[in-house]
């Protein structure tokens, strides 16, 4: 009974936070001269109302979900990975190089190969701040931000220089993009007549794998222990430094995979830059944090969470067409959701403190004690 109540509270509070942000969004819509009900209605209908919309929503949710899974793992190990943007870029870049280097491989080998390379690229880019934190005591928050900047400039260099489409040089247009990647690397479509591709399936499987990793393997146990209490974990013989590097590497691997899927699942089948990281990632490296927080840092709950936020991105474009409100509104709203969800933790903690307060504990009945041992297993 009490457990159910705690569960309900832990879901109601972040939902209220999102609702509060949406109400502010509605106020903003009316301030911009659009009918908020019509606006949100258009968004919802275009994102979830038909097969095309659903497919776009699923595709938009892939990078959000993958980055979000990585964030779940990192944050549970108390590692704040803000480097999703850079890890996506590096994963995508490495996978693109691989695809350009070995044309002619059959799809059945080529697709797993390039995705794996993307994963490794992201993992390596994530392991750097991990090692800097573990061995040099450098805050991962800062090093990941700096590595984002390095990755973007490296991408600009590669796409304007060594990797540029030879056709762009011949025509003299010099758009910073690669040539069309080998067709064998195109991610196959899952549904007849809709744009949803293999990437979505991979992302969902990754979420399941992350759940198994966190709660059914000793590595997951070690990561969570380090996150809950590093000192205690150290006394228990858990290699804390290695665990920190591991958490960031896995988190980066998910982002790198997201970057690779973004390239091979794109409609142009090229890697393109507009000079910024958001131009390539669509801010998924940051928005993935929103997805994970809203899912309570749970990989499986991240699936509906990613679909919701992916739907918001699809809806944002419809919003722009229907009521002439720039889709930047959604980025602003995502920001508010982050702030509100993080702030709402305070109320969640307060509810929990009341329940574990010694004065309150005296009245705890036997059934609640059983409940507690259940919680420990969780």
Smaller CB distance to another protein: residue 74 or 114?
74
Work out how close the CB of 329 gets to another protein at its nearest, in angstroms, rounded to a whole number: 5
Nearer to another protein, 266 or 287 (CB): 287
Q: What is the DSSP string of 9-30?
A: HHHHHHHHHHHHHHHHHHHHHH
Give 82's DSSP letter: -
Residue placing its CB nearer to another protein in the complex, 199 or 315: 315
Report, in Å, the least distance between residue 149 CB and another protein: 4
Q: How far apart are CA 331 and CA 259, in angstroms?
A: 20
* Smallest distance from another protein to CB 276, Å: 6
What is the smallest separation between the CB atom of 277 and another protein, expressed in angstroms? 8
Q: How far is CA 6 from CA 345, 353, 356, 374, in A?
A: 13, 11, 12, 13
Say if residue 207 is exposed, middle or buried (CB neighbours under 10 Å; 0-12, 13-18, 19+): buried
The DSSP annotation for 104-167 comes to: T--HHHHHHHHHHHHHHHHHHHHHHHHHHHHHH---HHHHHHHHHHHHHHHHHHHHHTTTS-HH
CB 171 within 8 A of CB 161: no
Tell the smallest beta-carbon distance from residue 168 to another protein (Å): 13
Closest residue by Cα to residue 79 from 214, 224, 217: 224
Shortest Å distance, C-beta 152 to another protein: 8
Closer residue to another protein, CB minimum distance, 359 or 377: 359
CB of residue 222 to another protein, shortest distance in Å: 23
State which residue, 127 or 330, has the beta carbon closest to another protein: 330
According to DSSP, the residues that pair with 197 across neighbouring strands are: 189
Residues that bind another protein (CB under 8 A): 32, 80, 82, 132, 136-139, 141-143, 145-150, 153-154, 156-157, 160-161, 276, 278, 283, 286-287, 289-290, 293, 325-326, 328-340, 342-343, 345-346
Whole-number Å distance between alpha carbons of 114 and 111: 5
Q: How far is the CB of 271 from another protein (least distance, A)?
A: 15
In the complex with another protein, the residue whose CB is nearer, 132 or 250, is 132
Cβ closest to another protein, residue 51 vs residue 228: 228
Tally of residues, the chain: 378
Burial of 243 (0-12, 13-18, 19+ CB in 10 A): buried
d(CA 190, CA 187): 9
Burial of 230 from C-beta contacts in 10 A (0-12 / 13-18 / 19+): middle
For residues 64 and 330, which CB has a smaller minimum distance to another protein in the complex? 330
* Signed CA dihedral, 197, 203, 204, 206: sign only: positive
What is the Cα–Cα distance from 64 to 71, expressed in whole angstroms?
Answer: 10
To another protein, the closest distance from the beta carbon of 296 in angstroms equals 14
Rg (CA), the chain: 22
> At closest approach, how far in Å is the CB of 313 from another protein?
12
Of the pair 57, 81, the CB lying nearest another protein is at 81
Q: Which one, 205 or 328, has the nearer CB to another protein? A: 328
């Amino acid at each position: 009974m009490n457990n159910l109540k705690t569960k309900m509270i832990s879901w109601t509070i972040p939902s209220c936070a999102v609702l509060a942000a949406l109400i502010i969004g509605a106020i903003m819509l009316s301030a911009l001269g659009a009918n908020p009900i019509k606006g949100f209605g258009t968004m919802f209908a275009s994102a979830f109302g038909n097969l095309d919309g659903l497919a776009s929503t699923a595709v938009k949710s892939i990078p959000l979900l993958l980055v979000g899974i990585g964030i779940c793992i990192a944050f549970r190990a108390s590692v704040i990975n803000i480097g999703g943007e850079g890890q996506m870029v590096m994963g995508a870049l490495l996978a693109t190089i691989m695809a350009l280097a070995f044309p002619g491989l059959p799809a059945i080998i080529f697709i797993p190969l390039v995705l794996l390379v993307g994963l490794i690229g992201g993992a390596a880019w994530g392991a750097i701040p991990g090692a800097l934190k573990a061995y040099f005591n450098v805050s991962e928050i800062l090093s990941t931000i700096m590595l984002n900047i390095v990755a973007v400039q490296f991408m600009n260099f590669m796409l304007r220089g060594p990797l540029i489409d030879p056709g762009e040089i011949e025509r003299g247009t010099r758009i910073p993009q690669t040539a069309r990647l080998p067709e064998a690397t195109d991610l196959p479509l899952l549904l007849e007549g809709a744009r949803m591709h293999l990437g979505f399936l991979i992302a969902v499987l990754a979420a399941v794998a992350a759940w198994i990793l966190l709660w059914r393997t000793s590595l997951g146990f070690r990561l969570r222990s380090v996150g809950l209490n590093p000192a205690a974990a150290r006394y228990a013989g858990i290699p804390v430094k290695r665990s920190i590097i591991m958490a960031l590497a896995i988190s980066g691997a998910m982002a790198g995979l997201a970057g690779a899927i973004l390239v091979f699942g794109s409609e142009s089948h090229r890697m393109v830059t507009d000079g910024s990281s958001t131009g390539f990632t669509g801010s998924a490296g940051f928005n993935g944090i929103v997805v994970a927080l809203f899912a309570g840092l749970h990989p499986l709950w991240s699936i509906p969470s990613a679909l919701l936020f992916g739907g918001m991105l699809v809806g944002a474009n419809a919003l722009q067409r229907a009521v002439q409100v720039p889709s930047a509104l959604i980025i602003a709203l995502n920001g508010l959701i982050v702030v509100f969800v993080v702030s709402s933790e305070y109320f969640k903690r307060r509810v929990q403190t009341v329940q574990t307060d010694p004065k309150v504990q005296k009245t705890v009945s036997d059934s609640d004690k059983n409940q507690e041992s259940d919680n420990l297993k969780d």
